[in-house]
């Protein structure tokens, strides 16, 4: 007998993790628009708008700015897969989990990997990376901008300038920062930048917005391969001996043709997801980038006041703190997962643990996009305090919310953000 399944009825959550985050209701409404064919002029007009909005959010004049279908990892892999030829030297400075991910991807495409490591909770002195670049002479430097596993943010401008001076391609993982912290693609000499839907853009996971410049495009054109089923005779002859990109799905040379006026078929675009991204980007630009970055810092400071009121210790170098993720040390003797479980089950509030050497030692609280709101800050502090008290932690009861309320009453958001 065939099983019967219930209609979906997902619980309401206050999501305060470093991703995914709560989706803006306007984005959810946009996803309910009727499906269009991917070559319908009404749909290609939406595609064109998305490209322009990605350019503006990444603060770039690059010709190429479009989403890769898939999670943020798809964007990271698409860029690296498309520019790495086996044997290429790639320098990857690692200060958390996602530097290791860049290494993992680059290894799979045959790169000669060179890494730098620093202690988790810190970032690199740019001069250290620049000196290593001179020593290694890589084709590519791949670097995470906002490392959510440690809550740190790496300064990029000096490194980008040095990459340009040394003719090195600079690839940046901006998944955790785009739409929530300043990402100046052109000013910082970034050749390719990769973002993600599910963090500060407040869109469901499913696209990875990327942008890249002519330096990257030159590499792509040298590796271009058009599928036999859609290539012209001249393209088949011209590209016969090309050292083509190994991935088909994540081939930026083919994706570029798909997003170009030629609209050369590659895949069927994720229609409803593109509606979501369109609305998410529109909301970011409607708010204004400077105002949006200031809002994230404003609510970050409110959260810090409350954690200080609970006498909890922060993890990591405060001078390199990622404004959209706050890492809190778990008090000695406390079961970190038990506290998280109680917060979720009793309050419907979700915060995150961490990875590798930090698992069970810190909690990570995300203040990203639509989740970055006053009521969410107050609620995450109230639920964390209550659960810590239930776990026998001696903290000043009530001080967290009072400290945060003092901040909100004193530092008016409009004044802070004007």
Q: Work out the average pLDDT over 279-300.
A: 98
pLDDT > 50? residue 23: yes
Contact 328, 312 (CB under 8 A): yes
pLDDT band for position 412 (cuts 50, 70, 90):
confident
Domains of the chain as residue ranges with CATH = 25-284 (3.40.640.10), 289-417 (3.90.1150.10)
The pLDDT tens digits of the residues spanning 144-171 come to: 999 999 999 999 999 999 999 999 999 9
E-state strands within 220-309: none
pLDDT at residue 418 in the model: 40
Bridge partners (DSSP) listed for residue 400: none
pLDDT at residue 339 in the model: 98
pLDDT at residue 237 in the model: 63
Give the Å distances, CA to CA, from 132 to 125, 127, 206. Answer: 11, 9, 35
DSSP letter for 395, please. Answer: -
The pLDDT tens digits of the residues spanning 63-88 come to: 999 999 999 999 999 999 999 999 99
Q: Reduce the DSSP state of residue 400 to 3 states and report it.
A: helix
SS (H, E, C) 101-166: HHHHHHHHCCCEEEEEECCECECCCHHHHHHHHHHHCCCEEEEECEECCCCEECCCHHHHHHHHHC
Token readout for 389 is: 């008290």
pLDDT band for position 241 (cuts 50, 70, 90):
low
The pLDDT tens digits of the residues spanning 327-384 come to: 999 999 999 999 999 999 999 999 999 989 999 999 999 999 999 999 999 999 999 9
Q: Work out the average pLDDT over 376-399.
A: 97
Q: Work out the average pLDDT over 257-280.
A: 94
Helix axes 214-222, 72-83, angle to 10 degrees: 60
The helix/strand count (H/E) of the chain reads as 15, 13
pLDDT at residue 225 in the model: 82
pLDDT at residue 226 in the model: 80
Q: Work out the average pLDDT over 110-123.
A: 97
The pLDDT tens digits of the residues spanning 304-335 come to: 999 999 999 999 999 999 999 999 999 999 99
Percent of the chain clearing pLDDT 70 (strictly above)? 96
pLDDT > 50? residue 398: yes
Contact 18, 177 (CB under 8 A): no
Contact 273, 206 (CB under 8 A): yes
pLDDT at residue 410 in the model: 94
The pLDDT tens digits of the residues spanning 3-19 come to: 999 999 999 999 999 99
Q: What is the mean pLDDT of the chain?
A: 95
Q: Is the pTM of this model over 0.85?
A: yes
With 0-12 CB in 10 A as exposed, 13-18 as middle and 19+ as buried, what is 104?
middle
Q: Work out the average pLDDT over 277-285.
A: 98
Q: Work out the average pLDDT over 386-395.
A: 97
pLDDT band for position 227 (cuts 50, 70, 90):
confident
CA distance 292 to 178: 11
CA distance 404 to 302: 5
Token readout for 267 is: 């895949």
- The full DSSP string for 299-366 is HHHHHHHHHHHTTPPBPS-GGGB-TTEEEEEPPTT--HHHHHHHIIIII-EE-B---GGGTTTEEEEE
């Amino acid at each position: 007998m065939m099983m019967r399944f219930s209609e979906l009825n997902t619980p309401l959550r206050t999501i305060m993790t470093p991703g995914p985050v709560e989706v803006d209701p306007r984005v959810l409404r946009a996803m309910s628009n009727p499906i269009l064919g991917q070559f319908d002029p009404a749909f290609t007009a939406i595609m064109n708008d998305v490209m322009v909005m990605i350019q503006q959010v990444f603060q770039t004049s690059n010709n190429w700015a479009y989403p890769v279908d898939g999670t943020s990892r798809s964007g990271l892999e698409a860029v690296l897969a498309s520019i790495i030829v086996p044997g290429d030297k790639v320098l990857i400075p690692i200060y958390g989990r996602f530097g290791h991910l860049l290494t993992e991807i680059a290894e799979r495409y045959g790169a000669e990997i060179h890494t730098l490591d620093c202690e988790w909770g810190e970032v690199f002195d740019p001069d250290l990376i620049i000196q290593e670049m001179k020593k290694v002479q890589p084709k590519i430097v791949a670097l995470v901008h906002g490392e959510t596993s440690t809550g740190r943010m790496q300064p990029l401008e000096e490194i980008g300038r040095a990459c340009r001076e040394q003719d090195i391609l600079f690839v940046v993982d901006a998944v955790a920062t785009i739409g929530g912290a300043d990402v100046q693609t052109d000013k910082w000499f970034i050749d390719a930048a990769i973002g993600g839907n599910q963090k500060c853009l407040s869109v469901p996971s499913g696209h990875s917005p990327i942008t890249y410049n002519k330096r990257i495009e030159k590499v792509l054109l040298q590796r271009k391969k058009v599928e036999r089923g859609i290539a012209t005779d001249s393209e088949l002859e011209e590209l016969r001996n090309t050292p083509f990109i190994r991935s088909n799905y994540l081939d930026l040379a083919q994706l570029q043709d798909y997003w170009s006026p030629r609209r050369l078929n590659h895949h069927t675009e994720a229609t409803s997801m593109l509606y979501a991204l369109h609305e998410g980007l529109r909301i970011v630009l409607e708010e204004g980038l400077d105002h949006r970055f200031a809002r994230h810092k404003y609510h970050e400071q409110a959260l810090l006041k409350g954690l200080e009121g609970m006498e909890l210790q922060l993890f990591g170098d405060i001078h390199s703190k990622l404004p959209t993720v706050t890492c809190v040390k778990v008090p000695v003797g406390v079961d970190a997962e038990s506290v998280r479980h109680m917060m979720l089950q009793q309050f419907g509030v979700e915060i995150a643990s961490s990875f590798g050497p930090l698992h069970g030692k810190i909690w990570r609280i995300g203040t990203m996009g639509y989740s970055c709101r006053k009521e969410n800050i107050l609620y995450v502090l109230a639920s964390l305090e209550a659960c810590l008290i239930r776990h026998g932690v001696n903290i000043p009861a009530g001080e967290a919310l009072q400290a945060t309320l003092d901040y909100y009453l004193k530092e008016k958001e409009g004044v802070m953000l004007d």
